[in-house]
Amino acid sequence: MADVSTFEDVPLPAETVWATIGDFGGIRKWAVLVEGESVQDTPAGKVRTLNMPEGRVVKELLAASSQFSYTYTMVDRPEMGDYRSTVAVVPLDAKTSRITLIMHMSASEAQTDADIEARYSRNLRGNLRAMKKALGLPRD
């Protein structure tokens, strides 16, 4: 199993950060590659459908949420059956917070944990840069 995470402290209150990155159904506020999105209440819970470039469609199930975090899993992706990802904001003080992104996934036959860690480390860092841009912060 591979676990990948990244975080960065930002000079904004947690409430401000969460208003931009914490909406499970509003990922387009920061995720520039998402061309369209919708959220549907299903018997299993909230499912967001993301329309991606080249006609690819991704469905994600909200597995858990709290004041400043949510965790989701993949829907209809057997190769990612053990996948879960968390977006969280940790208040550090009244003016500073930490954005934390965590991904967990088991390797399939065609990949290793090292492959997953390399690919998703890049993805998480890219997501963090996009979040900072949406917040009006330098992306470094």
What mean pLDDT value characterizes the chain?
A: 92
The 10s digit of each residue's pLDDT in 2-16 is 889 999 999 999 999
Q: Is the dihedral of CA 65, 4, 38, 31 positive or negative?
A: positive
- Model-level pTM? 0.91
The 10s digit of each residue's pLDDT in 97-132 is 999 999 998 767 777 778 888 888 999 999 999 999
Q: What is the pLDDT of residue 88?
A: 98
- The span from the first CA to the last CA of the chain, in angstroms, equals 30
Q: What is the pLDDT of residue 78?
A: 60
The 10s digit of each residue's pLDDT in 70-106 is 999 988 876 666 889 999 999 999 999 999 999 998 7
Domains, the chain, ordered by start: 2-134 (3.30.530.20)
Q: Is the pLDDT of residue 47 over 90?
A: yes
